[in-house]
Structure 1
Amino acid sequence: MARRLTARGERRRRQLMEVAAERFAVAGYHPTSIADIVDAVGVGKGVFYWYFASKEELFEQILVEAQRDLRRTQRAAIADEPDPLRRIEAGVRASVAWLDEHRHLFTLFELARADERFAPVIRRGEEQAVADTLPHVVAGMDADLIRREDPVVVAYAILGVVDRLTRVLVLEEDRPAEAVADAAVAFCLQGLVSPAAARARLAFR
């Protein structure tokens, strides 16, 4: 059963999570010990175990809460936007910006994806992301703004493009996040065919 924390207790828990997330991102999950975390915070191990049963539980909570914060950011970005394509665009841009701002958490997502203990947490987050994206894709198809394909496949494709471009170009190559978001939006909403080629194809038909 989760403990009911005071405001001070919640701040301490948050501090442990933030310090641990930074340490895990720099040194890796396995090399980072509980002693490393509590020493950095300046508390004893007893304080750690008051909030978390183990290092594994701590890491999982970091992942879950990071995914939750990303979803909150996406929802805020698309709030009150009636156009489904603009909602998708706003969601893409918010995602790239969040991942750029929280690069250490993005690194943790990648570490977790490769670890069989934590990969299910990442998969659940991805499934939730698809479920969040799906209504906007379906709305776009219903309005004849998106060509009719399997909407689940389209949702996965959008998320895959955003994840891959951000991981390679922002996280690894340190390119400007806004430019990467522009590229992700252009690809997701326009595909590979240029406007001139699209007009030519229509004229040929």
Structure 2
Amino acid sequence: MTEDQAPSAAVSVSDSAASANEPRRRLTARGSQRRGQLIALATRRFAADGYHPTSVADIVDELGVGKGVFYWYFESKEMLLEEILRDAQRGLRRAQNHAASTAPGPIEMLEMGIRGAVKWSAEQPELAKLVEFALTDERFEPLVRKGRASLVSDTVPLLRNAIDQGIIPEADPEMLAYAVFGVAAHLTSVFLERDGSDPDVLADAVVDFCLRGIGAR
């Protein structure tokens, strides 16, 4: 049986529980494409219509496949959103690290990382919106918090280096990292995702506020 020949009925609870302990199926090129289509379509529908109002039936009907195809790749709608959120946070982390990779010093790396994050949010508004939603839902909030902790862990060494070099005043670098991330994420959410501010202008404001806050300006 191929991926697109999966039975149209949803898998049973026992089948889902069993598959949770099995390694992910190796997908053919066609299977990887189909899985990507499900993720892309669900991302769009969840962002536009909301996670809770959007059903598995809505997703597969628009894609033109049966429910069995959906359950071949994902045990549940919840698992699908978790996968989307993980992909989103990996993408954000890559964007930050790439933006900071050529900066000459710790504060410059911090600045470019902030700019990279704002740019990512501007270019991926649907994913950014779903991350914000996930923070309001007790099922998904721990996953997002865990991902954000990884982003903070990338920032702590930069701040520690800046303190050691006398660039910024002595302080707890982890506390500073959480403060910078929290301010940047909140300002981006309010002024970019809700108000549609210019990303470059917003990035300038976020960088200025954060660097002044840690004593780098």
Common fold by TM > 0.5: yes
> Which residue is 1:86 aligned to?
108
- Structure 2 CA distance, aligned partners of 1:176 and 1:81? 23
Deviations 1:156-177 (CA, angstroms, capped at 9, x unpaired):
1110111111111001111101
Confirm whether residue 141 of structure 1 aligns to residue 127 of structure 2: no
Name which of 40, 55, 64 aligns with 1:42: 64
The 3-state SS of whatever aligns with 1:145 is: coil
> Which residue is 2:99 aligned to?
77
The 3-state SS of whatever aligns with 2:129 is: helix
> Which residue is 1:66 aligned to?
88
- Between the aligned residues of both structures, percent identity stands at 49
- TM-score (normalizing by structure 2): 0.86
Name which of 185, 193, 204 aligns with 1:163: 185
Q: Shift of residue 183 of structure 1?
A: 0.4
Deviations 1:141-188 (CA, angstroms, capped at 9, x unpaired):
111112111111100111011111111100111110111100011111
> Which residue is 1:182 aligned to?
204
Matching residue's letter, 1:119: E
Matching residue's letter, 2:177: A
- TM-score (normalizing by structure 1): 0.90
Name which of 112, 121, 124 aligns with 1:99: 121
Q: Which runs of 5+ in 2 are unaligned?
A: 1-22
The 3-state SS of whatever aligns with 2:185 is: helix
> Which residue is 1:199 aligned to?
none
- Structure 2 CA distance, aligned partners of 1:91 and 1:156? 14
The 3-state SS of whatever aligns with 2:27 is: coil
> Which residue is 2:55 aligned to?
33
Runs of 4+ in 1 over 6 A off after TM superposition: none
The 3-state SS of whatever aligns with 1:17 is: helix
> Which residue is 1:151 aligned to?
173
Q: Shift of residue 80 of structure 1?
A: 3.6
- Structure 2 CA distance, aligned partners of 1:61 and 1:191? 35
Matched length:
194
Q: Shift of residue 192 of structure 1?
A: 9.4
Matching residue's letter, 1:163: A
Matching residue's letter, 1:171: E
> Which residue is 1:127 aligned to?
149
Larger deviation: 9-18 or 178-187? 9-18
